[in-house]
Structure 1
Amino acid sequence: MHLHGEKKAKLTHRDAFGRIVKIDEDDDREYRIRPDDGKLELMEVQSFGDVGRDRVPWNRIGKPKNKTPALIRLSNWTFSSVRKTMLQDYYSPISRTTWVQKYQRALIVALKWLPSCILMMFMLLIPQNLEGEERNKGFYDPIRYRDWGYTKVARNPAENRPSRSHQEHEDDESATLLQEQSLQPSRPCLDHRRIPSWTSAVSDSDSLMDARYDDMPGRHFRPRYLCFLTPEGGSTTRLVSDWVREQDNVTNPEYVFVSYTRKQFTVATEDELKSWSIPEEERRLRTRLGPEHRQLLKEYGAKSARAAGVPAFWLDFECLGCSHSSVVTDNDDVWRICDIVRAAHSMIIALGPSFSNPEEPFSAAAKDYWFHEWGTRLWTLPEILLCPPEHRIAIYTAGGPQTPEQLAKRNFASRAWSDAKTVRQLIDHYEGSIHLTPLELVSIALECFETRTTEQRSGGDMAYALMGLLRRRPRVDRSDSSFEAFARLSLANDSDELLERLICMLPAATHDGAHAAQWHHVRDAWGVRLWDIEPLTQVAGIVEKDKVLLDGAYGASITWKSMKPHAYIVKQTLMRKVMKVLLRGSPAYLVLSLLWVANLSIAYRDERKYVSHAFVAFLFALSLSFLVPAVLVALCGPWMLRKVYRGKFWSTQASFIGVEGIPADIGECETLLFGYNHGRLQWSAAGSVHSRHHLRHGECVPDAPNPHLTSTPNPNHTRVFTLIDTFNMTATAFTAARPPSAVVVCGREGGMLRGVLCSYDWRSQTFCRETVVRVRTLALDRLLRVDRFRFALEHPEACGGTR
């Protein structure tokens, strides 16, 4: 009950058939979509062994009940002492028994035989299905889902919200880069450098070019502003178009690009520092160092420009314009620095002591450390990659020699970065010594960018840094998260279905649940690279809050609350057909034969004086000819039953069965599913990161998972589950934070499918990746397509969201 009669807030869920249910907003239980009718139901999970007593958001129903027919269970009881060894233990010495053990087991079967035959005759009188349940014409249980909403950005603009349909396409290279932005970059604001409106610019050919490419830029041909050298030895910041007109020349000016990091040089003005949330002592230190550092960087820029014989240099806090201008509200130069680097004559690097130790004196060791610190910053890597290779890069060091060190671009990797081997591939690509495909370029760049740091301007900084390496660039939306910015960038470029491949990967650092599964982890737990994965789905759009809309995937629901007997097909030989008829008809044959013999005995006793002895003997012999076979069939009933319903599986009813924990005996699961333990169900050899196998007699023999894996929660809040595939007859152990309700096949690699196991977040109607397993390719023959659905790389709870 709630205080003062307060009612619980309700959230609605709309299923694939349009039915709406209301659930309490504070309901934190796990739900699944029922494959039979598409309704939402509570997750009920069966388990083997001790799974702990802690509170979980799903209902635990304990060990699955044995629902196999009574006749099959009676047959298993009869032969339980001589059960055939499972296939995976065929070569094990433990499976070999002595003659004494064999005689003892045979004696136990003999003692059970007669009671079993008698019970079987009575049970056969009751009609019942002994061949398991067939569903969906043998296919896996479908995922009955439908998405009812809009996407934030659709791959096809016709599917965008009506309010967005009139806007430019995302791939329009002449579209304005920024959507909404209020940047406060660290640079001085001077009134005399206010940016004029381009509508009042002189209408000559050069201003028309700037109006087309600078006011609504797709790519910059040149910077808006440059620091031009003055005859007095200093520099002044001017509008490039003004300088070009004064020179009466349409040629863009050459300039030097100055690279540095704000970890070493503080360039914020006093007015900017007033709005920063920093300690007062640090504010005073930055206020004191700011003018000195700004002046030092300008001196380095002017000195390098004169040495290179060019008229100007580019320095970000001088040449990005004034953010306080009342004329310009959107400053896209911040995100177009990549174009400015590309157009530069050459580049220099300014190094200095870290802000944490500003008084550190110059030394060779200090310079190496400063150089490494410069290399750890996010935006310095694309600057090196995109700078012109024809000139060596000059390195100026605060407090060091007046003559800068000259370093070739190709030699930077081993000097500045700890991940030199990875970065070297990117440098070689941009120098033209090797060629990376778009997929290789993006995946290697992501691998480098994720280890670097930056003072974040927006959630998508990593994607925007990557954007500088690609040709087509979507508009910058500051409301984008890191993943959303990357997704839009991937959709806008020919990246060889990079996003679709990322979805299929299991990040190497996250398969044990140690960390959140970040989108930029491109190292797979199996050691597979992105280009080894062949996508089977397509990203149809981007949804808010780190979700995408997937289309064309294959999928199936996972059953967690029962192990019903499954149908299977064995070869229908003549012997099996005859035995099935005899077995099914044996009770009738036996009863009729007994009644006939009894009737003849009574008739002969009452009317023997009227009937000849020869005729009675003939009838009695005839009745015995029916009785003896019936008795023999009854006595052979247990053996015949196993002969008819055991054997090699030619096909089975396909389904995915989930279990919390790891079954100690996988044969017990096969008995529950198929009546008998044929030894067909085996652990997968490479289905998950917990799968194991070994070589024996030239064959790959799968092993059971590590016995140290427990179903109780570990410090990373993950548990152990088992997924049974009845079509491929494999069992796979995996770890996840919650039981997944669906298997979505999004790609293939190495001769197997990538099955993404997803839980269902009913609040946002999104399937959330819990882990990834590998499934045999034959499963595609029994999988159905899933209608386009919302997909997230992680559950909202895993990334700090609320339920």
Structure 2
Amino acid sequence: MATNFERPDWLAKSPRYYEIYLNPRTYSETHHATYRPGREYKSVEEYRHKDSLGRVWVGRENDRYLSATDGRLVELVVQASEDICHGPANSTWARKRIEESTPTILRVVYSLLGRHLQNNQDAWSRVSMCLEWLPSCVTIAGLFKYHYWGYSTASTNLHEVEPSSTNNLPGPRQYANGISKRPLRPRLLCLPQDDGGIVIVNVEEWEAVHGSLEYLFICYTTEQYSHESNEDMDELHRIAKAATRTAGVAAYWIACSCMPDDDDQFEDIYRISDVVRGAQALVVIIGPSPGLRPEEGEMLRHLGSRLWTFPEVLLSPSGQPISIYKRDCPPDSFRVLSKRNFAIEAWGDTTVSRELIDHYEGSIILSPLELVSIALQCFPNRETTRYYNGDLSYALMGLLRRRPSVNPNDSAFEAFCRLSWANDSDRVLERLVCMLPRNIDQPWYEINDFWGSHLWDIEPLCQVVGFGGKDTVIMSGAFGAPIRWTSLEPVNMLMRKTAKRSVARFALRSTPGWIVIGVMSLAITRSRTGTDAYLAFTVIGWIFTGLYILVMLASPYLISILYVGKTWASQPWLFGFEGYMEIGEIEQLVFGINLGRLKWSPYSSDLSLHVSQNGECVGKDPICRESTAQFVSAARNSRYGELKLFTLVDTNTLTVTLFRARRPPVAMLLCGSEGGMQRALLCSYDWKSQTLYRENVLRVNTLVLDKMSRVDRFRLGLNRPMAETKFQRIANILLLAAFRQYSSNSSHF
């Protein structure tokens, strides 16, 4: 993993243009300097990228993004505040200072009339304005081009499967995800004999001759009864036979003897839930385990902490009590607990798991979303001996009707994707990606939204069409827009059309015609001196020339009439920069003057802050909260891979949002709505695999939908893997040269 290079404060600047490395003594800071990345990726492998217009780029790993202007893959350069630019070289992307983008003519006008427009004018500023007036009179976004070209590792429709991955023609739609056949009866059962032995019978063959067979399901854990111990196995069967006679049934099912020895064994492990459903009753056998006290309550809680015993108890026959036997107990010595009381004694998450019990007991029926959401709170808290990486999802699928076939290569997330597609899960994946985790490092199955929303609170705007491997999904139909990090751009403003603005616009736009008419008229008069017939041309010439001079003298005021006032609409841009700045300073850079147009977003990010003013919700500077101010200070010296601070300026809604992420997101994707707001995924881009990775989730106004376009298929990941980096070699050259220069300068004092 990457390590950070510690440097003294006087060297705490990122390396800049390549010329600086070769001639560090000629270095001089300029406003347009670009700070090159302080870290580079260790990988020397070359990768291939194909953009939405079919252009191919091949190169080594570095930070790049898709340009909003032409859709090309270009190097990522991020604007940053002064403290970030002069902070540690802790990024793999280049940085540059924020530059004002206001047109020159507006800069002149705002410089002249700024204090007047801001109602902050004193006597000296009026005198200064008069002195500068005459010289001032003389001086006067886009589509997110992205398309994922690859195949899905698994698609919701078999017609989209890569031809080389299957030799079969596409089958019916219901088999697109390899649905596993659900067994109605167990394969094998144990039949106690009169002589004290048991016979393991094939259920299908037995029932064909003798009729249906009632049986008990024996629940235990291998932590207490080892399959390698004959003594443990004998004790299990002794208690199971006694429980079978007491219950008055003919057989019992127990995992140590009723699992097949063929290739279907692992498949049957994930079908045990169907065996439980078909049993007459459930019997739990507990015993001591190494490191635990031999107390009944302790042994029962240990069994309840195991992953696979949870669905066995949960799916046991409704209304039937659970019989609990202990090791070395007499045949008639057992306890009887209802399922609800079993949860209280054995499970540590009774408050949550009780809702699942009520669902399967029929007292409260959960929706598919509620069922999956609650189950994901219960299953990860339990321990298990792993068979496959997807065991968590395979255990969960026992609660649902349709199950995908077990794939040993699937991760837990990929197995969950298959499970979601196989069942009517109310688009749980589409809702899941719109969640903002309270902890950025929390696993995908911890549904813990920062805003306290549930899965059923979110209405998806797009659809998952497959998954792309490495815990990514292929989605389609989201609304998207690029985020511009390289520089600010002039923002066009729409003002209300008034008579005053119409006169000012006519006066300014007609001045070229006036001066042309005036000059031509005076030229004609000059060539015909002494002739009274041309006196009219002289008068006309001086009138139009005088009008031109008057308009030019009044041009700063006329221009301010056109561009200053209430804004009805503005050109939509998403500008981003790294670090924090005062909102007045941001508006000065974007619009050329601070007139209070921009406001802090009240509840867009996890750092947003709002207050009540006269009963109205008003966004407030996030650093007014002490915890946010501490994070802003700490982010200046954050290490590679740690959370950094970014600012997003939305010129459409005229809001500014402070948020944190590990990498600068290059795109905003609207994937769902909740509470009257849109869930906007801020995504960084891994061009090597054409994958967009979720960095943060904002809540934005619904109005932004009108300014965004649909995004075709895109590959989305929830957590971007941290690539190994090293301190840039060429940066070390600069540091060494700077150190020598610093040493030589110090020797003169």
TM-score by length of 1: 0.78
What aligned pairs does 1:101-116 form with structure 2 within 5 A after superposition?
Answer: 105-116=121-132
Q: Quote the Cα distance in structure 2 between the aligned partners of 1:384 and 1:785.
A: 47
Aligned pair in 2 of structure 1 residues 799, 396: CA closer, same or farther (>3 Å)?
A: farther
Which residue is 1:332 aligned to?
Answer: 267
Q: Does 2:221 align with 1:258?
A: no
Kindly indicate whether the alpha-carbon contact (under 8 Å) linking 2:521 and 2:537 is maintained by their aligned counterparts in 1. no
Q: Specify the SS of the correspondent of 2:216.
A: strand
User: Are 1:372 and 2:372 counterparts?
Assistant: no
DSSP 3-state at the match of 1:55: coil
CA contact 2:575–2:650 (8 Å) conserved in 1: yes
Retained in 2: the 8 A contact 1:564–1:672? no
Displacement after TM superposition at 1:36 (Å): 1.9
Q: Distance in 2 between matches of 1:481 and 1:732?
A: 35
Q: 2:654 aligns with which of 724, 729, 738?
A: 729
Q: Which of 320, 342, 345 lines up with 1:415 in the alignment?
A: 345
- Post-superposition offset of 1:303: 1.6
Q: What does the per-residue CA deviation read over 1:520-579, in whole Å, with 9 as the maximum and x for residues that have no partner?
A: 121211100000000001011121211111011111111001111111211121210211
Q: Match of 1:130? A: none
1:122 aligns to 2:39 (yes or no): no
Matched, 1:680 2:603: no
Structure 1 partner of 2:166: 164
Q: Deviations over 1:292-349 (max 9, x none)?
A: 22222222211211111111111111110225xxxx4665211100000000111111
Distance (whole Å) between structure 2 residues aligned to residue 758 and residue 152 of structure 1: 21
Name the SS for the 1:443 alignment partner: helix
Paired residues of 1:348 and 1:393 also in contact (CA < 8 A): yes
| Matched residue type, 1:22 | V
- Counterpart secondary structure, 1:559: coil
Maintained 8 Å contact 1:116/1:638: no
Contact 1:171 1:472 (C-alpha < 8 Å) held by counterparts: no
Counterparts of 1:798 and 1:20 in 2: how far apart (Å)? 23
CA contact (8 A) 2:600 2:656 kept: yes
Other structure's SS at 2:646 match: strand
Tell me which residue corresponds to 1:794: 719
TM-fit CA distance, 1:441: 0.7
Q: CA deviation at 1:394?
A: 1.0
**Partner residue, 2:75:** 42
Cα deviation 1:116-147 (Å, max 9, x = unaligned): 321232124xxxxxxxxxxxxxxx52221222
Contact kept in structure 2, 1:384 and 1:409, CA below 8 Å: yes
Give the superposed CA RMSD: 3.2
Cα distance between partner residues in 2 of 1:175 and 1:570: 55
Give 1:454 shift: 1.2
Change (3 A) 1:175 1:314: farther
After superposition, the C-alpha distances for 1:188-235 in whole angstroms (9 at most, x for unaligned) are xxxxxxxxxxxxxxxxxxxxxxxxxxxxx6111111111211112343
CA distance in 1, matches of 2:517, 2:559: 22
Separation in structure 2 between the aligned mates of residue 157 and residue 719 of structure 1, nearest angstrom: 42
Q: 1:435-446 alignment to 2 at 5 Å?
A: 435-446=365-376
> Structure 1 residues 629, 417: CA separation in 2 closer, same or farther (over 3 Å shift)?
same
Residue 615 of structure 2 corresponds to 698
User: CA separation in 2, counterparts of 1:317 and 1:492?
Assistant: 30
* Helix, strand or coil at the partner of 1:356: coil
* Match status 1:652 vs 2:570: yes
Where in structure 2 are the equivalents of 1:294-333 lying within 5 Å? 294-322=233-261, 328=263, 331-333=266-268
Distance 1:449 1:321 in 2: 26
Structure-2 change in CA distance of 1:383 and 1:44 (3 Å) = same
2:318 matches 1:389: yes
What's the secondary structure of 1:61's corresponding residue? strand
User: In 2, are the aligned partners of 1:565 and 1:672 still within 8 Å (CA)?
Assistant: no
Aligned residues: 671
Cα distance change, pair 501–630 in 1 and its aligned pair in 2 (3 A) = same
CA distance in 1, matches of 2:151, 2:352: 39
Whether contact under 8 Å (2:112, 2:133) holds in the other structure is: no
Supply the distance in 2 between the matched residues of 1:595 and 1:168 (Cα, whole angstroms). Answer: 80
Alignment of 1:623-662 (within 5 A): 633-662=551-580
Q: Is the 8 A contact 1:507 1:524 kept in 2?
A: yes
C-alpha distance 713-436 of structure 1, shift in aligned 2 (>3 A): farther
Alpha-carbon distance, 1:786 to partner: 0.7
Q: Give the equivalent residue in structure 1 for 2:47.
A: 11
CA deviation vs aligned residue, 1:659-687 (integer Å, no higher than 9, x gap): 101222x2332333333333221111110
Between the aligned partners of 1:427 and 1:713, the Cα distance in structure 2 is 50
Q: Which residue number corresponds to residue 712 of structure 1?
A: 636
Name which of 62, 77, 94 aligns with 1:59: 94
Written as runs of structure 1 = structure 2, the 5 A alignment for 1:519-598 is: 519-584=444-509
Q: Does 1:146 align with 2:147?
A: yes
The aligned amino acid for 1:351 is I
**Are the equivalent residues in 1 in contact too, given 2:78–2:577 (CA < 8 A)?**
yes
**What is the aligned partner in structure 2 of residue 127 from structure 1?**
none
Structure 2 Cα separation of the partners of residues 334 and 317 of structure 1: 11
- Report if aligned partners of 1:117, 1:637 keep a CA contact under 8 Å in 2: no
SS in 1 for 2:399: coil
Q: Distance in 2 between matches of 1:589 and 1:49?
A: 47
Q: Secondary structure at the match of 2:447?
A: coil
Q: Which moved more, 1:492-501 or 1:408-417?
A: 408-417
**Counterpart in the other structure of 1:70:** 104
Change (3 A) 1:305 1:171: farther
Q: 1:506, 1:176 → 2: CA distance?
A: 32
1:598 and 1:230 mapped to 2: Cα distance? 128
Distance between the aligned counterparts of 1:580 and 1:351, measured in 2?
89
Q: Which runs of 5+ in 2 are unaligned?
A: 1-42, 624-628, 726-749
What are structure 1's unaligned runs of at least 5 residues? 1-6, 86-101, 125-139, 178-216, 270-289
**One-letter amino acid of the structure 1 residue matched with residue 89 of structure 2:** D
Q: 1:567–1:674: 8 Å Cα contact kept in structure 2?
A: no
Distance 1:262 1:330, change over 3 A: closer
The CA deviation string for residues 51-97 of structure 1, in whole angstroms up to 9 with x for no partner, is 222231100112x2123122211222223445538xxxxxxxxxxxx
Partner of 1:22: 58
1:583 and 1:176 mapped to 2: Cα distance? 71
Q: Distance in 2 between matches of 1:171 and 1:237?
A: 39
SS at match of 1:477: coil
Mark the CA change 1:355 to 1:575 in structure 2 (over 3 Å): closer, same or farther. same
After superposition, give the CA deviation of every residue in 1:139-173 in whole Å (9 maximum; x if it has no partner). Answer: x5222122222212111111112242617759757
User: Equivalences for 1:123-522 in 2 at 5 Å?
Assistant: 123-124=139-140, 140-162=141-163, 163-164=165-166, 166=168, 172=174, 218-245=181-208, 248-251=209-212, 253-267=213-227, 269=228, 290-322=229-261, 328=263, 331-357=266-292, 360-362=293-295, 367-398=296-327, 403-510=333-440, 515-516=441-442, 518-522=443-447
Q: Distance in 1 between matches of 2:158 and 2:524?
A: 87
Match of 2:739 in 1: none
Note if contact 1:171-1:473 (Cα within 8 Å) is conserved in structure 2: no
> What is the CA-CA distance between 1:417 and the residue it aligns to?
2.0
Equivalent residues in 2 for 1:609-624 (5 A)? none
8 A Cα contact 1:49 1:663, kept in partner: no
Aligned partners of 2:517 and 2:541 also within 8 Å? no
Q: 553-562 or 501-510: which moved more? A: 501-510
1:743, 1:569 → 2: CA distance?
24
